Amino acid sequence: MAAIFTPGLTVTEHHIVQKTRQLPLEGEVMVSVGDMVKSDDVVAKTSLPGKVFPVNVANQLGIDPGRLSTYMRKKVGDSVTKDELLAETPGIMGFFKSEARAVVTGTLETISNVTGTVIIQADPIPVEIDAYINGRVVSVIESEGCVVQAMATMVQGIFGLGGETKGLIAMAASSPDEVIGPQHITADHKGKVVIGGAYVTIEGLKKAVEVGAAALVTGGFDYDEIKELLGYEVGVAITGGEDLGTTLIVTEGFGQIGMAPATFELLQKRVGKRASVNGATQIRAGVIRPEIVVTFDDEEVPEELVAPPEPVGITEGDLIRGIRAPWFGRIGTVSGLPVKPIKVGSETTVRVLAVDFGDGKTALLPRSNVERIER
Amino acid sequence: MSETAAPGGAIRSVLATDCGSTTTKAILIELTDEGWRQTWRGEAPTTVEAPFEDVTRGVLNAAMEVQELSGRQLVEDGGIKTPDVGGQGVDLYISTSSAGGGLQLVVGGVVRSMTAESAMRAALGAGAIVMDAFASNDKRKPHEQIERIRQLRPDMILLAGGIDGGTRKHVVALAEMVAAARPRTRLGGGFNLPIIYAGNQQVVGDIEERLSDISDLQVVENVRPVMENENLGPARDKIHDLFMEHVMAQAPGYDKLMGWVGVPIMPTPGAVGLIMQTIASQKGINVAGVDIGGATTDVFSVFEGKFNRTVSANLGMSYSVSNVLAEAGLPAILRWVPFHIDEKGLRNRIGNKMIRPTTIPETLEELKIEQAIAREALRLAFIQHKEFAVELRGVQQERTIADAFRQTGSGDTLVKMKKLDLIVGSGGVLSHAPRRSQSMKMLIDAFEPECVTEIAVDSIFMMPHLGVLSTVDQEAATEVFERDCIVYLGTCVAPEGEMKTNSNVLTVQLTFPDGRTESRTMGPGELWSLPAEHDPGVKAVLTPLQSNLDVGAGPGKPLTKTLRGGVVGLVFDTRGRPIQIPTEQSVRVPLLEKWVDAMDEYPTAEGQG
């Protein structure tokens, strides 16, 4: 059967999720293969090198850099505290001494007899990473981290803001088409992963931040509100580092778009369960989409659902979503994959697929303008 | 007909792919009875993204499309079928790549406007994106520079500094700064970051002492051995080598792809740059070229033999489309949209293109919006190019000491619009525009050519493919370029100089090859387009009607010249430079519609709002 290959988003009730938990630098891994971990457990830790401060000591002493070692009172590897003496000249008869002192507390990294510069590295910054999801450690990356695996409900969004967070799933919308405003957000949503519908207003999102919601999931959001939220425009979709207080996950796109019913129903089904959420998005090579992961933990999962799905292309009978006007957000079933390119309304000649939108009509859509909805 | 010696025998067929950040384009080039021709093409989304995370899937999908259309089997056992046996398979498979954000470099030099700029030129000439440039006279404090190097995670670092026998102290200080940052590679993996040292050769020992333990240090000849000379070739070649060995080897699926190709994979902009230089040298003309992609826009120019390339890293039509909005501003984009549109809706559409970068405009309205954005991306990229392409060149140059001290971004640009002979456009939005008049108008609106300028596009975006082919078979590449790649759109005539709006601007008198004549007097704010063949062209007498206006013969002086037409023809543009567009929407939209009609840019029945 013919198939086309268009990247889609995962919206799956039973999905074997693997999360690589990796330190930014080498450090100590706290777990072993086979260990069961909770999402908040620390799995690896390290110390990030502190900031580096070059100081031109030769200049301060007024000496030739080649003679710097002679006057140094500290050597490479020594700890120094701020304002501690690093080097001094003997002066003449004890007078006219010159000295150089540490600008920061840290470790003396290098002494250069070419440039006369001494580099001090400030004290390291401890970093810990947690497991992010409940699951089993299936592999250890030596000195760097591990891979945690679990059976989980996995929902990928299309765009997010803010980083990793966790919380119990709570519904704010009663249908995937509902627009969420501040009146839908209550104090009960504190620490929760709040599920919205078609759209959230900027006031609604601000209320979620105000009450301390862990995350807000919505079908659509206005692109120009991002600037109001962050103070700058997101010109290139590389996000995750924003300090919003509440992670935002947009499942469909910008504008008022109903959340895909399958996504909404799936999240509704997991109300009250603890979800791990990450808004980080990178729409470049090594793409990262925002996600909501709800592990099954001790719940029973049917055996036949345990195999990880193979990525496949779009074939006849598949459910797809239109991702460009005039079909943006519409969901339909693929009814044909004609080989011959056709000329569409913009006069562009493209290869298309036939889609039945369930209203008795079949439309031809450019193959690039659809994405498969995983089931 | 050419028979070409190649590894394994004479080449009769070539499959070439370009793995772009959005789309992988495949073309089939065959030796036919008429010589070398590009015969079939196909494309598919690039598959560096999940769930595939393997660039070869996109390559095979694009090749499958060519296979379906051509009837020639190209894919076999999950790879490209080589060699060509009885018209099945191909003799050579080649590829360029800009997927994965292309090749990203950090450069360093002692003086920002001298060795750091030479290093930047070497990196850009190799097809790289320069993420940042460091220098001893940097405005940032050393610890701030170190923090920045740590954060950037480039594919490699090119370190220049000092002429041979010149400063030791400043060059070593740069190396110490890099060493203190302990930079790491973008794509991870168990190897050290490649650092190319191309500075003062007399301090190589000092550099090795400081950098060889923390990096994969490669030493090449100085990019600036003496003040008056640049020597960019060795650094550029080393960048290409390391691109293959380190960067490509780390990107998803590239290890496999590298095993398929007959010659090394080349960064896309490097391949396009090769073709641009070939056009300029073969025709002896000044050329400006642009390749507008999904993530970046590359601009190339060759003026009086001097080659320059710039890359605007965040100006593009998909991944970077929202950044065009951020940099240009909504009013700048709206001024090109020939219908009334709700601003919030437009912002959301642009945002949606950013997050779903592989989509294409299905409706006419969407197409017009996309082409409005393209105008701004092209315009901004060209401004950046003109600021960078100053009195230096990409290969080697002789200059006086006095000249050497003038090489700053604020120096005189080499890109003199009145002397520009040819603009060549490439990239999806230009090559695949449904009507060629759209491509011509986008290039005129964005580049604002002055006097008499010929305009062409890459027919189906194959310049990168031909660039890499030219490294194997120059003759085949040239044949295909002339026959199938370059499409001459026509010539734009635009008077240069401040225009009075209350009197006529230009008289045009044309004599066509069949003896037919046509003449017109144009007022300000007009566009007039008429069909004309490229060969033998149309004899024209162009008379400026305002004393300060210049069409190429000097202010107020008439010009007699043969104008080359093309698939669009001749375009006479009296809209002024810069093009004057009213800000009031109710005035602007009817004027834009008039200009649209003048060039038969869009179908008239629909899409006007």
Query: A-chain residues within 8 Å CB-CB of B68?
Result: 339
Q: What domains, with CATH codes, occur in chain A?
A: 11-17+153-295 (3.50.30.10), 52-122 (2.40.50), 319-372 (no CATH)
ω into B83 cis (within 30 of 0): yes
A316 touches chain B (CB under 8 A): no
What is A147-201 written as a DSSP string?
EEEEEEEEEE-SEEES-EEEEEEEES-SSTTPEE-GGG--GGGTT-EEE--SEE-
pLDDT-based confidence at A175, cuts 50/70/90?
very high
For A144, phi then psi, to 5°, come to -125, -35
Q: What is the pLDDT of residues B295-352, one digit of tens each?
A: 889 999 999 888 888 888 779 998 889 999 999 999 999 999 999 888 888 999 999 9
| A137-151, A300-314, A318-332, B116-130: range with lowest mean pLDDT | A300-314
* Nearest neighbour of A345 by CB, restricted to B181, B345, B362: B362
Spatial CA neighbour of A4 closest among A370, A279, A348: A370
* Nearest neighbour of A348 by CB, restricted to B143, B180, B361: B361
Long-range contacts at B588-594 (CB < 8 A, ≥ 24 apart): B588/B335, B589/B338, B589/B339, B589/B340, B591/B525, B592/B336, B592/B337, B592/B338, B593/B338, B594/B527
Query: B-chain residues within 8 Å CB-CB of A284?
Result: 21, 100-101, 295, 319
* Nearest neighbour of B172 by CB, restricted to A6, A114, A224: A114
**Which residue numbers in chain B have pLDDT < 50?**
1-8, 392-400, 402-410, 606-609
A2 touches chain B (CB under 8 A): no
* Nearest neighbour of A236 by CB, restricted to B50, B319, B359: B319
Residues 6+ apart with CB under 8 A from A70: none
User: Given this model, what pLDDT does residue B296 score?
Assistant: 84
Contact A135, A37 (CB under 8 A): yes
* Nearest neighbour of B362 by CB, restricted to A49, A253, A344: A344
Contact B137, B174 (CB under 8 A): no
Q: What is the mean pLDDT of residues A253-263?
A: 89
Spatial CA neighbour of A296 closest among A313, A273, A262: A273
* Nearest neighbour of A348 by CB, restricted to B319, B357, B360: B360
Mean pLDDT (chain A) is 89
In three-state secondary structure terms, A222 is: coil
User: Given this model, what pLDDT does residue B51 score?
Assistant: 66
In three-state secondary structure terms, B442 is: helix
CA distance B501 to chain A (A): 35
pLDDT-based confidence at A374, cuts 50/70/90?
low
Q: Quote the DSSP letter at residue A309.
A: P
Query: B-chain residues within 8 Å CB-CB of A344?
Result: 362-363
Contact A203, A182 (CB under 8 A): yes
Query: How many whole angstroms separate alpha carbon A303 and alpha carbon A322?
Result: 33
Q: Quick one: tokens of A282? A: 């990178």
pLDDT-based confidence at A305, cuts 50/70/90?
low
Spatial CA neighbour of B68 closest among B34, B35, B28, B22: B28
**Helix intervals (H) in B22-168:** 55-70, 115-125, 142-152
Contact B599, B441 (CB under 8 A): yes
Query: B-chain residues within 8 Å CB-CB of A236?
Result: 314, 319-320, 322-323, 354
Spatial CA neighbour of A291 closest among A7, A10, A6: A10
AA letter at B457 = V
Class of the domain covering B100-257: alpha beta
CA distance A115 to chain B (A): 5
User: Given this model, what pLDDT does residue B232 score?
Assistant: 86
pLDDT-based confidence at A95, cuts 50/70/90?
confident
Q: Is A324's CB within 8 Å of B367's CB?
A: no
Find the closest chain B residue to A119 by CA distance: B180
* Cβ under 8 Å to B: A residues 179-218: none
A235 touches chain B (CB under 8 A): yes
Query: How many whole angstroms separate alpha carbon B562 and alpha carbon A161?
Result: 57
Find the closest chain A residue to B148 by CA distance: A51
Flag whether pLDDT at A5 surpasses 70.
Answer: no
The neighbour count for residue A25, using CB atoms within 10 Å, is 15
Query: How many whole angstroms separate alpha carbon B87 and alpha carbon B71?
Result: 9
Q: Quick one: tokens of A19? A: 């999360």
User: Given this model, what pLDDT does residue A149 score?
Assistant: 94
Angle at B323 between CA A248 and CA B365, to 5 degrees: 95
Within chain B, all domains assigned CATH 3.30.420.40 are found at 13-97
User: Given this model, what pLDDT does residue B398 score?
Assistant: 46
User: What is the interface size between A and B, counted as CB pairs within 8 Å?
Assistant: 201
Interaxial angle between packed helices B321-328 and B364-388, expressed in degrees from 0 to 180 and rounded to the nearest 10 = 70
CATH of domain B13-97: 3.30.420.40
Which uninterrupted H or E stretch holds B585?
helix B585-598
Q: What is the mean pLDDT of residues A232-252?
A: 89
User: Given this model, what pLDDT does residue B7 score?
Assistant: 46
ipTM, two decimals, is: 0.84
User: Given this model, what pLDDT does residue A179 score?
Assistant: 96
Which residues on neighbouring strands pair with residue B45, listed in sequence order? B23
Query: How many whole angstroms separate alpha carbon B48 and alpha carbon B31?
Result: 32
Q: Is A254's CB within 8 Å of B47's CB?
A: no
Query: B-chain residues within 8 Å CB-CB of A114?
Result: 168-169, 172-173, 206
Within chain B, all domains assigned CATH 3.40.50.2300 are found at 100-257
pLDDT-based confidence at A99, cuts 50/70/90?
very high
User: Given this model, what pLDDT does residue B49 score?
Assistant: 65
Q: Quick one: tokens of A70? A: 């002679």
